[in-house]
């Protein structure tokens, strides 16, 4: 393909992060973007990847494709490892062959949640579920296959697109008089639009430093805290009850502590990261403007 701009390939284009990258891409006019969903580019199929890289010769590939059904992964191990590990190995090897950098998105679930201080990039990994283990293996494969790989671990991702905690809470608060939300799992949410901008700012920076980085919005909260603020902003009368993890059994275990230390990414790439409340308000304001959403929400804290 003939273009004088560096080309960025984006996989998983119909997911939360992929759609946010598309939404903000207009502000990064120095690049030419090509977006692919799992139909146009199943990343586990090496021949398709080779063909796409051969056609576009991208400067970078941003891998937003992932198997993210955490509970389902416990019984669907084969597909979880295929997409989150083996396909990442293929993608990294292909990007190396064509001289392209790889931006790969990973997760706080590579940790076991037993820490009491924000997790750093070089802290020991110890996944406690299939999803986390498959993502951790994907990290390892990508670094082995392409030394120009930059991995971003993130947590509690939400946006106005797709299925996520924020949208689920809004829906359930309309349907029910009361909800139980886990209060002993701690972390920080990540607004996918903020992460999308961070990725493109990194690619736009003067220097590219491969390695593992952590990114989420600033602040420390529980899922219960998160739900309470969503309720207050949306003026819902729904009663939110705090419960313990053991009172809400799931197929996959969740880390109790997922707070990420973001010092490295802020120092190397000079990123300014928003507080989680500020980003949540922005997301809810965008949702409010969509058809069928209560126009009387208070978007001011």
How much is the average pLDDT of 146-151? 98
- The answer to whether 182 touches 285, Cβ cutoff 8 Å, is no
Predicted confidence (pLDDT) at residue 38 exceeds the cutoff of 80: yes
Query: Is 131 annotated in the active site?
Result: yes
Predicted confidence (pLDDT) at residue 283 exceeds the cutoff of 60: yes
Looking at the 3D structure of the chain, how many domains does it have? 1
Residue 146 included in any domain: yes
- Model pLDDT, residue 292: 55
Per-residue pLDDT band for 295 (boundaries 50, 70, 90) equals low
Predicted confidence (pLDDT) at residue 49 exceeds the cutoff of 80: yes
- Cβ neighbours of residue 131 closer than 8 Å, sequence gap 6 or more: 67, 68, 69, 70, 73, 80, 84, 107, 109, 252
Residue 292 included in any domain: no
Per-residue pLDDT band for 2 (boundaries 50, 70, 90) equals low
Per-residue pLDDT band for 3 (boundaries 50, 70, 90) equals confident
Residue that the structure tokens 């507080």 belong to: 275
C-alpha closest to that of 153 among 161, 143, 166, 167: 143
Residue 58 included in any domain: yes
Give the tens place of pLDDT for each residue, 211-267. Answer: 999 999 999 999 999 999 999 999 999 999 999 999 999 999 999 999 999 999 999
Residue 94 included in any domain: yes
Give the tens place of pLDDT for each residue, 17-32. Answer: 999 999 999 999 999 9
* Distance separating alpha carbons of residues 237 and 105, to the nearest angstrom: 37
* Distance separating alpha carbons of residues 112 and 253, to the nearest angstrom: 9
Predicted confidence (pLDDT) at residue 300 exceeds the cutoff of 50: no
Predicted confidence (pLDDT) at residue 180 exceeds the cutoff of 90: yes
Residue 139 included in any domain: yes
Predicted confidence (pLDDT) at residue 78 exceeds the cutoff of 50: yes
C-alpha closest to that of 93 among 25, 41, 22, 143: 143
Which residues form the domain of 79? 7-164+190-217+260-274
Predicted confidence (pLDDT) at residue 293 exceeds the cutoff of 60: no
Using DSSP, state whether 123 is helix, strand or coil. Answer: coil
C-alpha closest to that of 64 among 15, 20, 109, 107: 15
How much is the average pLDDT of 46-73? 97
- Model pLDDT, residue 294: 59
Out of 131, 191, 215, 224, pick the active-site residue.
Answer: 131
How much is the average pLDDT of 95-115? 98
How much is the average pLDDT of 117-122? 98
- Model pLDDT, residue 298: 52
How much is the average pLDDT of 110-126? 97
Per-residue pLDDT band for 1 (boundaries 50, 70, 90) equals low
Per-residue pLDDT band for 37 (boundaries 50, 70, 90) equals very high
* Distance separating alpha carbons of residues 207 and 215, to the nearest angstrom: 18
Residue 180 included in any domain: no
How much is the average pLDDT of 81-98? 98
C-alpha closest to that of 192 among 208, 216, 168: 216
What is the residue-averaged pLDDT of the chain? Answer: 95
CATH of the domain at 53: 3.40.50.720
- The answer to whether 42 touches 65, Cβ cutoff 8 Å, is no
Residue 233 included in any domain: no
């Amino acid at each position: 393909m003939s273009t004088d701009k560096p080309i960025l390939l984006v996989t998983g284009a119909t997911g939360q992060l992929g759609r946010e990258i598309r939404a903000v891409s207009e502000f990064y006019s120095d690049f030419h973007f090509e977006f692919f969903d799992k139909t146009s580019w199943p990343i586990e199929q090496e021949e398709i990847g080779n063909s796409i890289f051969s056609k576009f010769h991208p400067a970078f590939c941003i891998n937003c494709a992932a198997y993210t059904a955490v509970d389902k992964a416990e019984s669907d191990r084969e597909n979880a490892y295929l997409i989150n590990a083996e396909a990442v190995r293929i993608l990294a090897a292909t990007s190396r062959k064509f001289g392209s950098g790889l931006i790969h998105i990973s997760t706080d679930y590579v940790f076991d949640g037993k820490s009491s201080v924000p997790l750093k990039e070089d802290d020991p990994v110890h996944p406690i579920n299939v999803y986390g283990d498959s993502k951790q293996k994907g990290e390892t494969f990508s670094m082995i296959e392409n030394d120009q790989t930059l991995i971003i671990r993130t947590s509690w991702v939400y946006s106005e697109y797709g299925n996520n905690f924020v949208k689920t809470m809004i829906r359930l608060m309309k349907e029910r008089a009361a909800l139980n939300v886990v209060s002993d799992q701690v972390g920080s949410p990540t607004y996918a639009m903020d992460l999308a901008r961070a990725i493109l700012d990194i690619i736009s920076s003067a220097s590219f430093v491969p390695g593992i980085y952590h990114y989420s919005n600033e602040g420390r909260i529980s899922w219960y805290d998160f739900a309470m603020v969503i309720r207050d902003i949306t003026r819902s009368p729904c009663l939110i009850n705090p419960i313990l993890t053991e009172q809400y059994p799931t197929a996959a275990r969740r880390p109790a502590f997922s707070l990420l230390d973001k010092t490295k990414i802020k120092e190397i790439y000079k990123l300014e990261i928003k507080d989680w409340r500020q980003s949540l308000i922005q997301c809810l304001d965008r949702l409010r403007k969509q058809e069928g959403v209560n126009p009387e929400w208070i978007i001011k804290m």
